[in-house]
Structure 1
Amino acid sequence: MPAIRERSAPRTPQHRTASAPPGGSPRRRPPRPARAYWPYVLIAPAIGGMLYLLAYPLLRAVLISLQDFRLRQLIAGDAQFVGLRNYRTLLSDPRFWEVVARTFAFMAVNVVLIMTISTLVALMTERLAKAGRTVVLCALVLAWAMPVVAATTVFQWLFHSEFGVVNWLLTSLGFDSFDRYPWFADGGAAFAILVVLIVWQSVPFAAITLYSALTTVPAELYESARMDGASGSRIFRSVTFPMLRPIFVLVFSLEVIWTFKAFVQIWVMTRGGPGDATTILPVYAVQTALSSQRYDLGSAASMLTVVLMSGVLVLYFRQMFRQEDDPR
């Protein structure tokens, strides 16, 4: 009898909403208005352009690095899949590892100089009066706005062996050994000139970014630290740097990326010479692809460059996060 009562019990409103309506057809949701799709329509061109300009070249480079892709395959389009053979060829080449070592040395020197000089410039700019601060910021913006090729050409003329200002100035100061000195024929000198050029081009962005972050630090923290007798370096280590750690991480990461992929300056100024003195991984990839039409090896070198650069950033992020999690 209890079972009969349960069967004959009337349905609650909840049961009625979960089941089909009296007409028998399932209840449909009301259609979304057309204006709800407009945000997706508006961002679709940007997403499509980003995928075409970024994702497609990357996927195409990965595919070429796994093929036997030379000049004939570029024209005929009948490239064969060879797997990881191109990567094995590169990893067994002693010259490739020399270029890798030179690339890391080039990156380390540039990033250390950029971060150090940019931090000092940002701290100096913060302490200047309004007029001096305006002059410094305008100078940084103008230097940052100069095109890369134009700046590289200016540096070429500055260090020209016959008409360069640097040789003329050093000779005027009594250094006669620099009369018509061929800067770009000396590997060490060419390497140093490229470091100066890239640091000069990168410092404005980093300095302006760090200065903007410095303006957000409350002045009360500095006043409390000074009242406790903290020195300038102690204030920077205990107050400024902890407050600006995310910005330092961001600037450091961008500088690693930009320095690791520095190509235009080296290609315009030295094309990787003299010898291999200024050849880093991006230049090596282009040289490999163009010198003997080995586009497959050039693509493989580019992919290894991306992997190595990502490895550097991952290690740095892990170290930074480990320091943040350390209670001390």
Structure 2
Amino acid sequence: MIDVETAVAPARPAPPARPRRRTGAALPLLLLAPASAVVAVVIGWPLLQLALLSFQEFGRAQVFGQPAEWIWFDNYVSVLTDGEFWAVLGRTVAFAAVCVVAAMVLGVALALLMQRLPKPFRVLMSVGLLLAWAMPALTTTIVWGWMFDTEYGVVNALLRDLLGLAEFDRRSWLIEPLGFFTVATIIIVWGAVPFVTFMVFAGLTQVPDEQLEAAALDGAGPVMRFRAIVLPQLAPVLVIATILQLIWDLRVFTQIFALQDIGGIRADTSTLGVYIYQTAIAGGEFGIGGALAVITMVVLMILAYPLMRNMLRSGR
């Protein structure tokens, strides 16, 4: 006979199945390990040495073997209480801001122009931009220095003879800060525009033509289409380009140093990169130079953080 209680009793639930262990979970970490080790050695170790150097009294005597004395935050106090440092920092930030804005505006404009040009002219323009981008910074600075030369510069000749501006007759551009940084801005923007142009042009190729055509059929003009469709999709590219330009322009060295050798006054035209060189290499104060370098990295992180935060938020 069948037991009634056994027949009507509910069946016991089966025990929950154990989740299967992911066998390939460690594979990405193993693949990243060699690259991470290289980055740690090539970038992390010099940064650690720089941080340690900034806490020491390290001069020319220590270069030849004398032990360095640990003075901890004295180098940072010396830098942050120096009025010259704050003048150089303000000058550098203002100069970098002008260069970044000019490079981004001109780069976006040239990218939009390249998009509308026929293919032969687009190739010709790309070759010209690549040549400008590939030219070494020192060579570029020397050539532009000749163009702004007091006696034989073509810029003074054009402004004086073609435009009739007599005040540019034998003008010395590099002996006063405004003229010096005007020349430096032209040189740096001239070299940075090709990079921004190619990045933005690559981003423009990813904008769907269907959206632009639909907006045009709805009556949106070119400016409205750019603001409502193109600009939001270009935002990540523009943020990355802006961050890179900001980093490069805040630590610019070659162009400023070469222009100072041509005729600029160092006391009034030094930026952070040149100021660190003058302090550490020329002045022999390597500990203070290390503190200046660390402070420069902190300034870069502070200025780049809002841009990075907006880019990460937009990517969610």
Whether TM-score is above 0.5 comes out as yes
Q: Counterpart in 1 of 2:55? A: 66
Deviation at 1:260, TM superposition (A): 1.2
Provide the rounded CA distance (Å) in 2 between the counterparts of 1:302 and 1:155. 29
Amino acid corresponding to residue 271 of structure 2 in structure 1: I
Amino acid corresponding to residue 295 of structure 2 in structure 1: L
Deviation at 1:299, TM superposition (A): 1.1
Equivalent residue runs for 1:305-320 within 5 Å: 305-320=296-311
Equivalent residue runs for 1:131-142 within 5 Å: 131-142=120-131
Name which one, 1 or 2, has greater alpha-carbon Rg. Answer: 1
Provide the rounded CA distance (Å) in 2 between the counterparts of 1:50 and 1:153. 35
- Which of 264, 281, 303 is 2:294 aligned to? 303
- What stretches of structure 1 of length at least 5 have no aligned partner? 1-35
Matched residue of 1:87: which SS? helix
Provide the rounded CA distance (Å) in 2 between the counterparts of 1:70 and 1:191. 32
How many correspondences in the alignment?
286
Correspondence 1:222 to 2:224: no
Q: Counterpart in 2 of 1:179? A: 169
Q: Counterpart in 1 of 2:46? A: 57
- Which of 72, 82, 94 is 2:71 aligned to? 82
Q: Counterpart in 2 of 1:109? A: 98
* Kept after mapping to 1: 8 A contact 2:260/2:266: no
Correspondence 1:262 to 2:276: no
Deviation at 1:170, TM superposition (A): 2.2
Deviation at 1:82, TM superposition (A): 0.7
Provide the rounded CA distance (Å) in 2 between the counterparts of 1:210 and 1:243. 11
Provide the rounded CA distance (Å) in 1 between the counterparts of 2:239 and 2:199. 12
- Alpha-carbon RMSD: 2.3
* Kept after mapping to 2: 8 A contact 1:289/1:296: yes
Deviation at 1:278, TM superposition (A): 2.4
Q: Counterpart in 2 of 1:292? A: 283
Report Cα offsets for 1:121-147 as digits up to 9, x if no partner: 101110111112111111111111111
Matched residue of 1:183: which SS? coil
Deviation at 1:320, TM superposition (A): 4.6
Report Cα offsets for 1:204-253 as digits up to 9, x if no partner: 01101110110111100100111111121211111001112211111111
> Under a length normalisation based on structure 1, what TM-score does the superposition of the two structures give?
0.81
Deviation at 1:51, TM superposition (A): 4.3
Deviation at 1:317, TM superposition (A): 2.3
* Kept after mapping to 1: 8 A contact 2:236/2:311: no
Amino acid corresponding to residue 145 of structure 1 in structure 2: A
Correspondence 1:190 to 2:219: no
Provide the rounded CA distance (Å) in 2 between the counterparts of 1:228 and 1:143. 41
Provide the rounded CA distance (Å) in 2 between the counterparts of 1:123 and 1:180. 38
- Runs ≥4 residues deviating over 3 A: 46-53, 319-325
Q: Counterpart in 2 of 1:280? A: 271
* Kept after mapping to 2: 8 A contact 1:188/1:277: no
Provide the rounded CA distance (Å) in 2 between the counterparts of 1:243 and 1:178. 45
Provide the rounded CA distance (Å) in 1 between the counterparts of 2:128 and 2:93. 30
Deviation at 1:178, TM superposition (A): 2.1
* Kept after mapping to 2: 8 A contact 1:206/1:251: yes
Q: Counterpart in 2 of 1:154? A: 143
Amino acid corresponding to residue 120 of structure 2 in structure 1: A
Deviation at 1:74, TM superposition (A): 1.3
> Under a length normalisation based on structure 2, what TM-score does the superposition of the two structures give?
0.84
Provide the rounded CA distance (Å) in 2 between the counterparts of 1:307 and 1:273. 28
Q: Counterpart in 1 of 2:19? A: none
Matched residue of 2:268: which SS? coil
Deviation at 1:88, TM superposition (A): 0.5
Amino acid corresponding to residue 265 of structure 2 in structure 1: P
Deviation at 1:87, TM superposition (A): 0.3
- What stretches of structure 2 of length at least 5 have no aligned partner? 1-26
Matched residue of 1:134: which SS? helix
Matched residue of 1:244: which SS? helix
Provide the rounded CA distance (Å) in 1 between the counterparts of 2:236 and 2:257. 33
Matched residue of 1:185: which SS? coil
Q: Counterpart in 2 of 1:24? A: none
Matched residue of 1:216: which SS? coil
Correspondence 1:249 to 2:239: yes
- Which of 223, 230, 234 is 2:224 aligned to? 234
Equivalent residue runs for 1:164-175 within 5 Å: 164-173=153-162, 174-175=164-165
Provide the rounded CA distance (Å) in 1 between the counterparts of 2:237 and 2:98. 21
**Quick one: percent identity of the two aligned structures?**
35
- Which of 196, 202, 218 is 1:206 aligned to? 196
